[in-house]
Every structure is written in C-alpha cells, then in structure tokens.
C-alpha cells in the first residue's frame, strides 16, 4: 500500500482527501468541542499537506441523509436538511486550524470545479456531504470520476469508512494516483500489531448489540489473544449457543448454528456467569446466576463477572475494547461497563478502544482521555479484527 509520504513534491498539487468527519451536530448547529475527536484525528494529515504547500480538497459524509436523485452533471443543489450539512464541520475545522476553510455547497458540479481551479497553495476546501448523492454508496464510477476531476492526487485518510465500497473510497482510485494518509496508515499499523505482535498477555473485550458483526471477531481472534472477554448481546448469543437459558434476552439477527461453529469451550473465552436482569413484573434490576433467567432479559454482567474481567484486564499488557457490557444508558445497567472501564484505564497495558457506544460510555464516565488510542472507526475496526479485507485498503493496493 502506497502512502502519501512516498510523494516527494506536493507543492501546488491538488490533493483530494477522504476524511472521516461524521461527528454529531448539536441542536444549535455547531460541533460540540467534546465530540470533535474525529476532526482532531485528521489534523496531523492536513498540517502535513500544509507544510508541503499542497492545495487541500476534503470530502466526507455526515449521517444518512435522504439521497438525492439528481443527475451528477446537474447544477449544485441546495441542501434540504441542514442537519446533514458539513458546513458546521467546516466552521469547527477552521477554529481548530485557525485558518479559513472554504465550504462548497456541493461535492461535484460546476461550483466545486470552479473553486478547485482557483485554489492557491495552502488553501483548504471542504465539499458538501457526499451522501446527498445515491451514487456515493453505489460506488458509481461516473460519480467518482467527477470527484477525481477536481484534483491531481487522491488520499484515503478515513479508516472509519474503509470497510465501505463507496465511490469516494474505492471507485475514485481508478482515476487518480492514490495513497494512504497518515491516519489510515497509523490505524492499520496499530491494529495489525495488536493482533499479530502485541505485548502479552493480551486481552480483547467484545460487547455491545451488534452480535452478527462481532461473532466473526470472536472466532478470528481466538488464537491471537490470550483472553477474550464477552458481554452484551454477543454474550447472550454465546450462552444460547451453549444451550444455556437466556430468557427473553436480545440475540440480534444471528444464526445460532453459525455461533456453534466457534470453539465455545475454549479456555481463552470468558462469558458472564452472573448477570443483571430486568424484572418485568416489578420493573427493577435484579442479580441472577446465568441459566436461571426465566422470563427476564439480561441487560448487564453481574458483580462476580465484573471482578473476574477486571482482574484479567489488570494483568494485561495489550487491551482492545469494542462494545459495552450492557445497556449502559440506563443507570441500573451501567455497572458492568463502568467496572470494565475503570479496570482498563487503571491497567498499565496499551489500550485501544473503538465503537461509538464504547467511546460514548468512556466519555460519559470521564475516562476517554486515559485511553492510549481511540480508533476512528467502530465498524471498520470490527471488520479488520475479524480478519476480513477492507475494500478501501484493497483499492489502494
């Protein structure tokens, strides 16, 4: 995979860079300073290009807006839903860099081309939300070609979308010399080392609700980590696959027969042996041993499981965490996630976390600054940890 550092002369080159600026926009239409970490993560790459006197054209997405049916070669369209506009991101980026960011109301079309043509070395342009066009998620080559016409070089600096076969990630590489950005290179290196060359003992913590995407991770890392700690819906599925009663607990859209193909009796795999359930009759949280759930729902790990998980984490030299231990948004079911978070931040091991819910939980608990590395892509991280190829990285190769 070629990286941007291989290009010796970037002066006056127009660099079209895919960024991962999918950040929450508040009701006031601004980016909260506590939630701008994805923007901050891209700053070293932008500053690198500024030092090289390049012309920087940034493109990204925000949320899932209603897709435009407009032809690609139409005039620039106006954004109907301001909540999906990247304009607030341009303002926040300008504040962080202390320089003007030119915002373009479209990502293709005449306005984008005119702005690109008039750029001077050191100028920074942010294009409007790519996902206002359905062609983006269709990996449409004509759309990608229109994007490519704006620049001389393409850079993927967005690990967070590299698991998506989208036009700004994959098809665009057919029309421009293409390179990995500093952030993409860094995240691939960190995760690769954590999987294949980590300091031992190593521990991976897998939780959350997306069991279908996380079970393949459990299977792939079985022989790569010393300890695999599982909570959330993922744990529910494994318990069910082992023939243990889970009551009315959520299992997600999972084929239990597929789950049974995992070595569920492996001594590296740790699942809850006591849990917190929601008693639907009296509507309160109750402690229950695993296997005696009845008609209740598992919503957190229990105190004995917390203690075991915490001890394993404390002795670990490498820790990867993706997914909370339970329904942490509810105070009654926060304890498991909180105890694991406390153990992670107290550990002397190297800590990598990813996934929106995990990051939100750590931020709410005030622990996010104690993490060594916060991965910008939860979904991409899971695909990578499952040993699968990421389309965005393959396109660069």
Catalytic machinery residues: 38, 210, 356, 379
* Residue 134: count of CB within 10 angstroms of its CB: 14
245-265: string of b/e by CB count within 10 Å (b at 16+)?
ebbebebbebeeeebeebeee
* Residue 369: count of CB within 10 angstroms of its CB: 9
């Amino acid at each position: 995979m070629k990286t941007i550092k291989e290009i010796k002369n970037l002066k006056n080159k127009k660099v079209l860079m895919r960024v991962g600026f999918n950040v929450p926009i508040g009701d006031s239409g601004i980016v909260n300073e506590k939630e701008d970490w994805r923007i901050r993560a891209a700053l070293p790459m932008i500053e690198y290009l500024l030092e090289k006197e390049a012309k920087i054209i940034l493109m990204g997405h925000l949320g899932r807006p209603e897709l435009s049916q407009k032809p690609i070669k139409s005039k620039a369209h106006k954004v109907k839903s301001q909540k999906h506009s990247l304009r607030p991101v341009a303002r926040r980026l300008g504040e962080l860099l202390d320089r003007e960011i030119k915002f373009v109301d479209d990502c293709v079309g005449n306005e984008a081309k005119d702005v690109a043509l008039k750029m001077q070395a050191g100028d920074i342009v942010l294009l409007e939300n790519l996902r206002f066009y359905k062609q983006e998620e269709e990996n449409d080559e004509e759309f990608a070609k229109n994007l490519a016409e704006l620049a001389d070089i393409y850079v993927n600096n967005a690990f967070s979308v590299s698991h998506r076969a989208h036009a700004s990630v994959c098809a665009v590489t057919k029309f421009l010399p293409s390179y990995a950005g500093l952030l993409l290179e860094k995240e691939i290196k960190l995760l690769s080392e954590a999987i294949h060359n980590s300091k031992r003992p190593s521990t991976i913590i897998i939780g959350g609700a997306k069991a279908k995407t996380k079970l393949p991770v459990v299977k792939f890392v079985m022989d790569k980590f010393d300890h695999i700690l599982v909570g959330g819906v993922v744990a529910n599925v494994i318990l069910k696959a082992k023939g243990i009663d889970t009551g009315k607990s959520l299992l997600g859209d999972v084929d239990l027969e597929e789950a049974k193909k995992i070595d569920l009796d492996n001594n590296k795999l740790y699942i809850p042996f006591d849990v917190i359930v929601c008693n639907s009759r009296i509507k309160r949280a109750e402690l229950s041993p695993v296997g005696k759930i009845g008609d209740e729902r598992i919503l957190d790990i229990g105190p004995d499981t917390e203690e075991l998980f915490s001890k394993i984490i404390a002795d670990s030299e490498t820790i990867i965490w993706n997914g909370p231990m339970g329904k942490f948004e509810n105070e009654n079911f926060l304890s498991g996630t909180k105890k694991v978070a406390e153990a992670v931040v107290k550990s002397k091991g190297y800590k990598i976390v990813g996934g929106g819910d995990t990051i939100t939980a750590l931020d709410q608990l005030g622990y996010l600054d104690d993490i060594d590395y916060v991965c910008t892509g939860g979904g991409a991280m899971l695909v990578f940890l499952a040993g699968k190829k990421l389309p965005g990285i393959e396109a660069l190769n």
